[in-house]
Each structure stands twice: as C-alpha cells, then as structure tokens.
Amino acid sequence: MPFAGFVGDVKDAERVREVIAGQKPAIVFHAAAYKHVPLMEEENCWQAVRNNVFGTWVMAAETIAAKVPRFVLVSTDKAVNPTNVMGATKRLAEIAARRCSQRRLDAGQRGAVRQRARSAGSVIRSSRSRWRAAGRSR
C-alpha cells in the first residue's frame, strides 16, 4: 500500500482539497491534533478546539467531497471519558467526523470509518499488519 504524508494547516480547506485532488487516495488517515496537554488547558484552549475539532471537520468534509472511500480518524483513549480540554476536543473531533459521515450516509454513499488508537504504538503499523493478515494489502 503506497503511503504519502503532507504538511499543512489542517484547517486550510484549500490545502486539504489540493492534496486530496493531487493524490486521489483510497484512504485518508487523519491524525493531526495538538498533543501538548498542559499548553492547551488555559489560555490556549480555544486553539485546541479550532485545531482538533474544526480541523477534523475540514478533513472529513473534504474527504467526503472528493468521494474518498474511507476516512480514518486516528484518535486516542483520552477521548473516551475526557477529563481535560484536550480530551474534550478529541471527543468533539470524533463527533464532528461521525456527523460528516452521517451526512454522507444520508446521500446514500459509504460512511466514514473511525478508529480509536491507544496513545502508545503506531496505529498505521498495526493496521497494516492486520490488513496484511486479512489479505487486503498489496
């Protein structure tokens, strides 16, 4: 399975559209989120909301608009029962991605896939192993 990584502001819909259009992916893995919990708890909490929630909305919406078959939100265990701003933004990001997929389902298309990953380890590496075991990788 070919892999390509790109850098850009996850909230920049034009950049997201440009990358998706240029690559024509079959799957989009979205893992962009602020991860510096202490920095996001006080004066910076609005930035965490903008980046983690709005950024996920942009990624999911652009993935759907481009008719990419699968969108995988790489989340963490922090979103299960949030105890801080960071966990709450990750939970809201999951809700945003799910809402986008429901809009897509309403249009009669395939829904998005959400995957929760533990904080430790590579979700992409472990997923790749599972796909190979299932005979889905080239």
The one catalytic residue among 11, 24, 67, 78: 78
Residue 1 lies in a domain: no
Residue 4 lies in a domain: no
The stretch 55-78 carries a mean pLDDT of 87
Residues spanned by the domain of 110: 13-133
Q: What is the pLDDT of residue 24?
A: 93
Cα separation of the two ends of the chain: 6
Alpha-carbon distance of 92 to 128, in angstroms, equals: 27
pLDDT at residue 120 tops 60:
no
Res. 54 pLDDT band, cuts 50 70 90 = very high
- Which of residues 136 and 7 earns the better pLDDT score? 7
Residue 39 lies in a domain: yes
Mean pLDDT (the chain) is 75
Residue 37 lies in a domain: yes
Q: Mark whether 11 is an active-site residue.
A: no
Residue 108 lies in a domain: yes
Residue 138 lies in a domain: no
Overall domain count for the chain: 1
pLDDT at residue 134 tops 70:
no
Q: At 65, list the tokens.
A: 């608009």
Assessment of whether the complete model's pTM goes beyond 0.85: no
Could you tell me the CATH number of the domain that includes residue 96? 3.40.50.720
Residue 87 lies in a domain: yes
Residue 52 lies in a domain: yes
Question: What is the residue whose two structure tokens read 């966990």?
Answer: 87
Angle at 49 (CA atoms; ends 45, 53), nearest 5 degrees: 160
User: Cβ(75)–Cβ(93) under 8 Å?
Assistant: yes
Q: What is the pLDDT of residue 88?
A: 85
